[in-house]
Structure 1
């Protein structure tokens, strides 16, 4: 039995079709069928009911599938660990970030880090918080900056600060000249543009939960990929959008930003890294972040 047998079997079980599994694996269907048959002959078990449409696993096949998935996950973990070990002797550091953090303090942090550690090869990768967690586990990044708190024992998340949310309104909107902070009640029934569309959970879910907690319903909800697109739809009159306060520098000619009232009307800035990661670069990065907060008088969570 080889790993490819397990990968082929898991693919067929997932797709419930030899044809679709072969396309996913980029091989022809006859060789795939032969590989599965070889696996069954070696085990002395029938794993797949080939007469059913779609294909179904036999009782033995279901048990085998559970074990195969665990084996393949463990192999992937070993490969990721080996990759990290290979890179351990090199001065490289990779940071993942959600787009909205670029409008806040992240660029300043990156400049300070480059100045403090010129010998380190720094890589920057745009990715959602969900994607950051996967990238941390696979060793593709060392630190991630996102907006979503996730419960994963293999990842340590640190709330750096809570950034206020503001309401993005098209110029000419009845609330554009409102001097006091707006309440969600003022926006009930308005069309709402949220981002990102996927993967979920995301910043979009945080915004929608603010409405649900107050028993409010927005008008038509438009889900888009990223912040710039959301602001474009606001300008087009498709709705309003709740965005981090640091985004206020964008499109000021055709968008009016107004503060949003409420203790929960915040966009967290969360730093993630692998649990038990003792890399000194993480400590250096944190020192630079808190030094910057202090220098600019930015309110933040206490360092732990």
Structure 2
């Protein structure tokens, strides 16, 4: 399927008349009719009802039209953004991140890079596994996650380790304490993200498993904010990296664990063996300062 098929379809769907649609598209009617039939064959469904009074969209056609319009608008917007970038000589720099790292230093990195006149930033919320794929495909240039993944095309740098905390419903029996994993294992656990895996969810389960503890997983959530909402609803508890405590919401309290050695890494991923661009060098310099501030306690 080509973009022209979608454009032809949208014009015909608007006109509901092949002759008028062909005039708008500056083509004759027979080729347009063939293109629409070819599209229907590829979709595997009739998009138009053909009658003596003209054309009508089928239910399938109405659904297809909504999505075709969205696709074409996205393509047009992307083309326009690309042209603007070319005219302004700006360079695209993509950053992927897991949500739990966006409450610490990452917004400061983004803010400083945005101040540079020659940079067009693209941010994408991705799991660490998705970041590796995006790096190899060239969709992003730098990723921030929490999983160590062995891939010959990607290098990973552990920026720092941060404590893991328990997020509890307000009024929970363990509120105000520094609980052990054994104590936490007696309460229903909320995991996130539910998919794709491996993820932070597997890290949480691994903490209990290594101590021979069994836990009851009462709910899985795809997003951090959903998991916290479930905690606030008293569905269960969850484990989060320290940065997440900056998310203040009613019904949730955060507490450090008794074992201070239980940590979660913040890992920066980049393409291996690639000569750093000017923008990458700037990002690395900014990141070095931010990480040192974090390690020294100036930005807890």
TM-score, structure 2 length as denominator? 0.66
Partner residue of 1:17? none
For structure 1, which runs of at least 5 residues remain unmatched after alignment? 1-24, 30-86
Bigger Rg, structure 1 or 2: 2
Partner residue of 2:103? 103
CA RMSD of aligned residues (A): 2.4
**Do the aligned partners of residues 230 and 161 (structure 1) sit closer, same or farther apart at CA in structure 2, a change above 3 Å counting?**
same
Partner residue of 1:59? none
SS in 1 for 2:102: helix
Equivalence map 1:261-300=2 (5 Å): 261-280=258-277, 281-295=279-293, 298=296
Whether the 8 Å contact between 2:113 and 2:119 is mirrored in structure 1 is no
In 2: Cα distance, 1:100 partner to 1:170 partner:
19
In 1: Cα distance, 2:174 partner to 2:246 partner:
19
In the TM superposition, residue 106 of structure 1 has moved relative to its aligned partner by 0.5
In 2: Cα distance, 1:121 partner to 1:170 partner:
41
Q: How many residues align?
A: 215
Partner residue of 1:125? 124
In the TM superposition, residue 27 of structure 1 has moved relative to its aligned partner by 5.8
Partner residue of 2:214? 217
Whether the 8 Å contact between 1:190 and 1:220 is mirrored in structure 2 is no
**Do the aligned partners of residues 295 and 187 (structure 1) sit closer, same or farther apart at CA in structure 2, a change above 3 Å counting?**
closer
**Do the aligned partners of residues 207 and 92 (structure 1) sit closer, same or farther apart at CA in structure 2, a change above 3 Å counting?**
same
**Do the aligned partners of residues 225 and 282 (structure 1) sit closer, same or farther apart at CA in structure 2, a change above 3 Å counting?**
same
**Do the aligned partners of residues 277 and 261 (structure 1) sit closer, same or farther apart at CA in structure 2, a change above 3 Å counting?**
farther
**Do the aligned partners of residues 215 and 204 (structure 1) sit closer, same or farther apart at CA in structure 2, a change above 3 Å counting?**
same
Whether the 8 Å contact between 1:293 and 1:299 is mirrored in structure 2 is no
Whether the 8 Å contact between 2:160 and 2:295 is mirrored in structure 1 is no
Is 1:206 the counterpart of 2:229 in the alignment? no
In 1: Cα distance, 2:263 partner to 2:130 partner:
22
Whether the 8 Å contact between 2:97 and 2:143 is mirrored in structure 1 is yes
SS in 2 for 1:163: strand
In 1: Cα distance, 2:204 partner to 2:296 partner:
23
Whether the 8 Å contact between 1:194 and 1:204 is mirrored in structure 2 is yes
**Do the aligned partners of residues 110 and 298 (structure 1) sit closer, same or farther apart at CA in structure 2, a change above 3 Å counting?**
farther
Partner residue of 1:12? none
Partner residue of 1:163? 162
In the TM superposition, residue 289 of structure 1 has moved relative to its aligned partner by 1.3
C-alpha distance after superposition, 1:226-251 (max 9, x if no partner): 11111111111111100111111224
C-alpha distance after superposition, 1:225-283 (max 9, x if no partner): 01111111111111110011111122443111100133542121111111112123333
Equivalence map 1:117-266=2 (5 Å): 117-178=116-177, 181-266=178-263
In 1: Cα distance, 2:100 partner to 2:293 partner:
22
Whether the 8 Å contact between 2:192 and 2:201 is mirrored in structure 1 is yes
Whether the 8 Å contact between 2:168 and 2:238 is mirrored in structure 1 is yes
For structure 2, which runs of at least 5 residues remain unmatched after alignment? 1-40, 46-85
In 2: Cα distance, 1:103 partner to 1:295 partner:
15
In the TM superposition, residue 120 of structure 1 has moved relative to its aligned partner by 1.2
C-alpha distance after superposition, 1:38-89 (max 9, x if no partner): xxxxxxxxxxxxxxxxxxxxxxxxxxxxxxxxxxxxxxxxxxxxxxxxx9x9
